[in-house]
Chains A and B, each alone.
Chain A
Amino acid sequence: MTQIRLHVNNQAINAISPISIAELVALNQLGSEGTAIACNNTIISKQEWATTYLKDNDSLDVFTLVAGG
């Protein structure tokens, strides 16, 4: 159990390792419906969320569909 620092949408947050993307999403209520996540600019598909563990200084981008033209 070590504390790691993550950057989620350019916002720094602390988390306790080991932590998977799925766990992070649940903890922070990032939602999964219509959501896509890229870790260090690589898209991680939903099936891989549970098995992808985050490292210190990982940068996550969480996207969702919003109103737009």
Chain B
Amino acid sequence: MLTLADQTFSSRLLTGTGKFSNVATMRQAVEASQSAIVTLAMKRVAAESQQDSTLKALKALGVTLLPNTSGAKTAEEAVFAAELAYEAIGSHWIKLEIHPDQRYLLPDPIETLKAASMLVKKGFKVLPYCGADPVLCKRLEDVGCAAVMPLGAPIGSNQGLQTKPFLEIIVEQARIPVIVDAGIGKPSEAMAAMELGVDAVLVNTAIATARNPVAMAQAFASAVETGRQAFEAGLGATHRTAHASSPLTAFLESTT
């Protein structure tokens, strides 16, 4: 069970709904992933356009909707997007993401911290997408975020856990859940993230762009569950103690 802001969720796999070839596939994949939380984006609609049926499909699945603020380049824009999302679905969950950089979509740490602080004060449950920076994660925790979502690698890159040493520090220090967002390309990488003790992972591109998204969603679901199981079972560590040549405790013989 994953606990976020006092609410429990049955799965530690969060799924993004972007990049699927069609809504039906997306719906089946989300179902196969057993995710309890899915992300969505806010977009302007063209007048007289057809309603995007994504929302209807997800509501039918009964999952918790986690709108994001993608498109925001500043803290103010992100707060505006969050308030729009609240107005649209009446939920205070918000995945905060601010990426002024349009090539790699890397999160802006300064604007993110600023927006997180503003949103928490407005009563939002804030899950910020951020760099795998342990100090930034502590700062985000200090302003009251419900979790931190450090990246494993640039978003959509499928490069895996490039930030592993930093994720380990974040996990060690965090008092709020850590969710690895972005970069996870394979179930084995999701499993590795879970084994090192993160609370959940968010996967989108790797599922949506797989040849068979539904089967891949299933594979991720098992990987996340197995990784968590391994973490809870307590991994045996590799031995790293080097033995000095002379005993260090012999002095006790002469003193006691």
Contact = CB atoms under 8 A, between A and B. Distances in A.
Contacts of B16: 68-69
Interface residues on B, range: 35 or more
A69 B18 contact: yes
B87 A69 contact: no
B98 to A, nearest CB: 15
Given A34-B55, A45-B87, A68 B45 contact: no
Given A65-B55, A69-B17, A36 B87 contact: yes
B34 interface: no
A2 interface: no
Interface in B152-196: 155-156
A59 to B, nearest CB: 12
Nearest to A41: B80
Interface in B22-53: 23, 26, 39-48, 51-52
A22 interface: no
Contacts, number: 108
B16 to A, nearest CB: 3
A65 B67 contact: yes
A23 interface: no
B54 A65 contact: yes
B55 A28 contact: no
Interface in B203-219: 204-205
Nearest to A13: B47
Contact of B46 (A9, A34, A35): A9
**Closest 10 interchain pairs by CB?**
A68-B41, A69-B16, A69-B204, A36-B87, A36-B88, A36-B84, A69-B18, A67-B17, A34-B55, A65-B40
